[in-house]
Chain A
Amino acid sequence: MKIGYYPGCTLKTKAKNLEISTIEAMKKLDVEMVELDRWNCCGAVYSLADDDLVHLLAPVRDLIRARDAGLTPLMTLCSMCYNTLARANLLMRNDEVKREAINNFMEEEENYQGEVEVVHLLNFLRDSIGWDKVKAAVENPLDGIKLAPYYGCTLTRPLDVSVDHNTYHNVFGDMMKALGGEVVDFQEAETCCGSYQVISNPDAAEKTTVRIIESALKAGADALVLSCPLCDYNLGKKQADLMASREGIQPLPVVYMSQLMALAFGVPAEMAHFELNPPLTREFLEARGLLARV
């Protein structure tokens, strides 16, 4: 089957490992990801100011491109892109006044009313593929590896765009289980990674990343599983700095959900581009024989 695909800027630059590993793994499920021909930044952050319509132009324009190209549902891999696109889409469906203002401003485009359905890889796998089919594609199960799925804020908040409507979120864990892994639940799985505070208030960002890492380690996690390049920056790429500046912090490998999926499906490891992860990730996967096995 084919699925419309919105990559997001970071997946084309710093987080190619998230994109390429997904494309390759999806081929094993006979899913072809059809990338939008024209797209711009998703808006990066959904503005919380009620009258800030200008920041909606970017996501709405992407949704218009998807509608015009017939690419609905439209899938994202990055949690932030998912959140901005899904929320902008809801606003265009539900808020008549703002919809008109935005459509009036973007008069060079056909009016948009929320025709596209925005999905994330996680709920796409659950709803359109099914965990049984995912299980059936596994060649190298992630046996005995304790994986802590990290949702962060943007996959499940606010409720009306959540990828999981159960009281107890389990879509991420279900994916890891389908790949043969052991799922570790931990207290801070939906605590913000620090997001862009890492620039304006790095101390606050550090505090929250320490909480998340310590919580996952305490729960017995071998690795933290991510779906967002910004989370990867705060929790993964900044980890070495963290350990240098604070005492008593233990290292925790981080890895994208799709990289594990690619390994489990028997995709050649070089297609998962672990060179773009912190060195710890590769060392961990090698120690567990996951890179040697493929």
Chain B
Amino acid sequence: MCDTATIEKKVPEVAEELVPIYIMGKKYEVPASLTIMKAMEYAGYQYIRGAGCRGGICGACATVYRKPGDYHIRVGLACQTVVEADMYLTQIPFFPANRAVYKWEDVRGEAEEVFAAYPELFRCLACNACTKVCPMDIPVMDYVAAIKQGNLEKAAELSFDCIQCGLCATRCMAEMAQYHIAQMVRRLVGAKIAVPSPHVDKQVAAIKSGHYDEALKEVMALGTMDPFNQDANKENIDKLKELYNKRQGESHATDESWEPDDKYALLEDAR
């Protein structure tokens, strides 16, 4: 009915509502729909640290804030949290937290090894400040308790969503760096405790045997660009796109009977 140009003309100039926020104590008027990170850029800050994936996963942009008339500390990731009027905020992109050094070959995946690396675990008073400050809603205090109980598997599971932002460490009255301890625990569980998966072993063996070498060479060749032959480059890029679009992966809708076309690395007994 109407073309794109007329639509663009009809969109009225909407003056976005501005809200006051306080960045490190200084007041700025910012559009109400922005995330904290975009609001800071809008206000003129340029990120050289404290921003990473902008997708809520890397943990670089941990932010604390308060609102008038409420004593609670609030937290959020700057890239995910939308501004609120009158919030007082600051980012805490880094907080000093020591990481224990241990020899990977020497550890066997025992709780005592974690106790030795991080004896401050036993200073926990169960105040729960860590859990309350976690932007990922991880029960931090509970995983600390699980480690003290020697239940590393439970601690690994409870801490699995940790993005290492470090806010727990900023609030700990026992001066722990909980997230480093949990990372050591997950590494021990993954490599030394969890039952090895025969699927992974077979897949690794398939890769090492050279089963995928030819396919990989094909892809790599397509990615080699010749600056003097743009036509060939375009052809290669189109082929790459086609390979990418045709790649096979298990869709969320498939059930347990799904199998890939290439059955080379499948387990015999699982079939």
Are A and B interaction partners? yes
A interface residues, how many (CB within 8 angstroms):
17
- Whether B207 sits at the interface, judged by CB under 8 Å, is no
**Which residues in A have their C-beta under 8 angstroms from that of B145?**
9, 38-41
Contact check, B149 vs A58: say whether CB atoms are below 8 A apart: no
* C-alpha gap A106/B141 in the complex (Å): 13
**Which residues in A have their C-beta under 8 angstroms from that of B111?**
13
Asked if A9 meets B127 with Cβ closer than 8 Å, knowing A38-B142, A40-B141, A40-B142, the reply is no
Q: Which of A7, A13, A54 contacts B127 (CB 8 A)?
A: A54
- Whether B126 sits at the interface, judged by CB under 8 Å, is yes
- Whether B150 sits at the interface, judged by CB under 8 Å, is yes
* C-alpha gap A91/B148 in the complex (Å): 26
Q: Which of B141, B144, B149 contacts A12 (CB 8 A)?
A: B149
Contact check, A54 vs B125: say whether CB atoms are below 8 A apart: yes
* C-alpha gap A195/B151 in the complex (Å): 25
**Which residues in A have their C-beta under 8 angstroms from that of B128?**
57, 61, 106, 108
* C-alpha gap A172/B125 in the complex (Å): 32
- Whether B163 sits at the interface, judged by CB under 8 Å, is no
Q: Which of A13, A106, A108 contacts B150 (CB 8 A)?
A: A13
* C-alpha gap A105/B72 in the complex (Å): 12
Q: Which of B112, B125, B126, B173 has the most CB of A within 10 A?
A: B126
Asked if A40 meets B150 with Cβ closer than 8 Å, knowing A13-B111, A108-B132, the reply is no
Q: Which of A7, A13, A61, A108 contacts B126 (CB 8 A)?
A: A61
Residue of B nearest to A61 (CB): B126
Contact check, A9 vs B148: say whether CB atoms are below 8 A apart: yes
* C-alpha gap A104/B148 in the complex (Å): 27
* C-alpha gap A13/B139 in the complex (Å): 22
Enumerate A21-55 residues with CB–CB distance to B below 8 Å: 38-41, 43, 54-55
* Closest beta carbon of chain B to A162's beta carbon, Å: 26
- Whether B124 sits at the interface, judged by CB under 8 Å, is yes
**Which residues in A have their C-beta under 8 angstroms from that of B126?**
40-41, 43, 57-58, 61
B interface residues, how many (CB within 8 angstroms):
19
* Closest beta carbon of chain B to A238's beta carbon, Å: 18
* Closest beta carbon of chain B to A61's beta carbon, Å: 5
Residue of A nearest to B141 (CB): A40
Contact check, B149 vs A9: say whether CB atoms are below 8 A apart: yes
* C-alpha gap A57/B128 in the complex (Å): 9
* C-alpha gap A105/B173 in the complex (Å): 14
Contact check, B125 vs A12: say whether CB atoms are below 8 A apart: no
Contact check, B149 vs A13: say whether CB atoms are below 8 A apart: yes
Contact pattern, B 129-150, Cβ under 8 Å of A = 1, otherwise 0: 0001000000101101100111
**Which residues in B have their C-beta under 8 angstroms from that of A39?**
145
Q: Which of B122, B125, B150 contacts A57 (CB 8 A)?
A: B125
* Closest beta carbon of chain A to B130's beta carbon, Å: 12
* Closest beta carbon of chain B to A19's beta carbon, Å: 11
Residue of B nearest to A54 (CB): B125
Enumerate B139-181 residues with CB–CB distance to A below 8 Å: 139, 141-142, 144-145, 148-151, 173
* C-alpha gap A58/B144 in the complex (Å): 13
**Which residues in B have their C-beta under 8 angstroms from that of A105?**
127
* C-alpha gap A55/B112 in the complex (Å): 24
Contact check, A41 vs B124: say whether CB atoms are below 8 A apart: yes
* Closest beta carbon of chain B to A62's beta carbon, Å: 8
**Which residues in B have their C-beta under 8 angstroms from that of A12?**
149-151
* Closest beta carbon of chain A to B98's beta carbon, Å: 22
A residues with a Cβ closer than 8 A to B are: 7, 9, 12-13, 38-41, 43, 54-55, 57-58, 61, 105-106, 108
B residues with a Cβ closer than 8 A to A are: 111-112, 122, 124-128, 132, 139, 141-142, 144-145, 148-151, 173
A-B contacts besides A9-B148, A108-B128, 5 pairs, CB < 8 Å: A9-B149, A13-B150, A38-B145, A54-B127, A61-B126
25 contacts between A and B (CB under 8 A): A9-B145, A12-B150, A12-B151, A13-B111, A13-B150, A38-B139, A38-B145, A39-B145, A40-B141, A40-B145, A41-B122, A41-B126, A41-B145, A41-B148, A43-B125, A43-B126, A55-B125, A57-B126, A57-B127, A57-B128, A58-B126, A61-B126, A61-B128, A108-B128, A108-B132
